[in-house]
Structure formats: structure tokens, C-alpha cells
Structure 1
Amino acid sequence: MGLWEQIAYGSIILALCSAIHLGLIIFSLPYLNKIAEAQRARFSRRRAARVIGFAFVIVLTGHVIQVWLWAVSYLWLEAMRGLEPALYFSLSNYTTLGYGDLVLGEDLRLFGAFASVNGMLIFGVSTAYLVGIIGRVLPKGLH
């Protein structure tokens, strides 16, 4: 795959992953706002745990979907032979860990780097989302 194809395909997958993650976050906000308002009126540990737990599940779901999407793209491009190596490589790149035991060929190196960019961006968004939710749910003195 040429340079511009790698950039194009990598950008498309990155945009799709970002849209999925942001869509999940936006989908969760009405539910979380409703519970957070009740939480502000009267603090409840159970309610706080439910809100934070739900927010965490939303974030985790987004990350899992994205890792699978990258893995499927590696299989589709025949960059990996089998689901397990594709998932392993996808997760390793997405978390920017990149052990180096599995690598892409020169014709897909740039494409693979987009997974790392995706992971860094979305981990930042996820952190901001969770910090915002926790800040709304916990009493002022606890955060």
C-alpha cells in the first residue's frame, strides 16, 4: 500500500473510531445528567457508584470496539494471519505499548501508527469524560 493510501485508510479508521467513542459518550450524557442531578440534591454512595460505573462501562465499550475495528482492518488488509495476532497487535498499538514482537511490513507501517494516534487521543477524551463525571457526582470536599 502506498503512502497516500495508508494515510487515507488510517484517517478513515481513526475518524470512525473517534465517532464511535464520541457517540457513546454523547449517548450516555442524558442518563448521567439525570442521575448526577439527583446525586447533587442528596449524596448517595450507591448512586455515585452507579454513575461512575456506567461511565466506566461506556468508556471501556468504546475502547473495546475500537481495538476490534483496528484488528479487523489488519485482517482485511491481510497484514496479520489470524484473529489472535490481529487483536494482540491492535491492542498493543492502540495502547502505544508496541512490544515489537509483531510488526507490519513497510507497506503498512504508517497505517499501523494511526492506531497509536487513535489510542492516545481517545484515552485523553476518556480521561476528561471520567474526571468530569466524577467531579459532578462526588460532593465538593471529596474531589
Structure 2
Amino acid sequence: MFLIILFGVLIICINVILQSVITVFSLKYLHQFNSKKGEISIKAVLFQTSLSVSLLTLLHGAQCTIWAATFYFNPNIDNLYSFKEAIYFSLITFTTVGYGDVVINGDWKILAGLEAINGIMMVGWSTALMFSYFQIILKKNISK
């Protein structure tokens, strides 16, 4: 079981690295965009918000796909019959919905719990990033 947990922690680390890269890229881009003089228009805020949320959604989709590949290509997990089913299982686990209609067998089900923990952390991190962005906008527009 220790090796299974260690394997799950490795997948979490890969997702944390992905999230870190996107966070640094996003903050750098948003800082450059917001460092222009004058107030930021509503149109620009809507564009930046839409772009940021879309990027974060794609990021979480990629993170779920990494988990799905982990489940699907693991020879010890034999009850995920297609990659589509593995993606579905990963999405409902990452978001902690957990319908229970698709489950994995054996000792490897501990990975599902680790994915749920990972999902909570990554979505929370993305929420914090968006909140930080809105603080930057408000500070710039209210201080004038």
C-alpha cells in the first residue's frame, strides 16, 4: 500500500508542477495587462476573466486526463473498460462528486482518494488565483 500511496503522490506532484507553471504564466500576463495606466474597461475585465477561467478549466481537464491515464494504463486496475470511462471516473473523482456508478477495484482504489484530495487543492488554488486577479483589478480601479 505504501508504494500505491507513493505513486499517487508522484501524480499529485506532476499536477502541482502543471498548476504552478500556469499560475506563474497567468500572474505574469495579468500583471503586464493591468500595469497599463488608467482604469481597466469592463470589456477588458470580461475578456481577461473569460480567458483565465478557460485556461484554468483546460488545466483541470489536463490534470484529470493525467489521473485517467494513471488509472486506465495501470495493469492492476482491470474494471475501467475504456479511456472514456477512465476520464469520466477521473472527472467525478477530481471534482469530488463521486457518483459511485464507476469504481475501481482492489488496493488501488486509494488512488481515487488521493485524486479527490488533489482536485480539492487544485480547484482551491485556481479559486485563489482568480480572487487575486479580482483584487488587482479592484485595487487599480478604486484607488483612482
Fold equivalence (TM over 0.5): yes
Could you tell me which runs of 5 or more consecutive residues in structure 2 were left unpaired when the two chains were aligned: none
How far residue 120 of structure 1 moved from its aligned partner, in angstroms, is 0.4
Query: Take 1:25 and 1:54, find their aligned partners in 2: how far apart are those partners?
Result: 13
Runs of 4 or more off by more than 4 Å in structure 1? none
How far residue 122 of structure 1 moved from its aligned partner, in angstroms, is 0.6
Equivalent position of 2:24 in the other structure? 26
Query: Take 2:65 and 2:126, find their aligned partners in 1: how far apart are those partners?
Result: 18
- Equivalent runs, 1:108-127 vs 2, <5 Å: 108-127=108-127
Partner amino acid, structure 2, of 1:81: Y
- 1:56-101: CA deviation from partner (whole Å, max 9, x where unpaired): 1221121011011011111111422211110110001000111111
Partner amino acid, structure 1, of 2:19: H
Q: Is it true that 1:67 corresponds to 2:64 in the alignment?
A: yes
Query: Take 1:54 and 1:60, find their aligned partners in 2: how far apart are those partners?
Result: 10
Deviates more, 1:87-96 or 1:17-26: 17-26
Number of residue-to-residue matches in the alignment: 138
Sequence identity (%): 24
| 2:34/2:40 contact within 8 Å kept | no
Root-mean-square deviation (Å) = 1.6
Deviates more, 1:121-130 or 1:105-114: 105-114
Equivalent position of 1:104 in the other structure? 104
Q: Secondary structure of 2:99's partner?
A: coil
Deviates more, 1:54-63 or 1:127-136: 54-63
Structure 1-normalised TM-score? 0.89
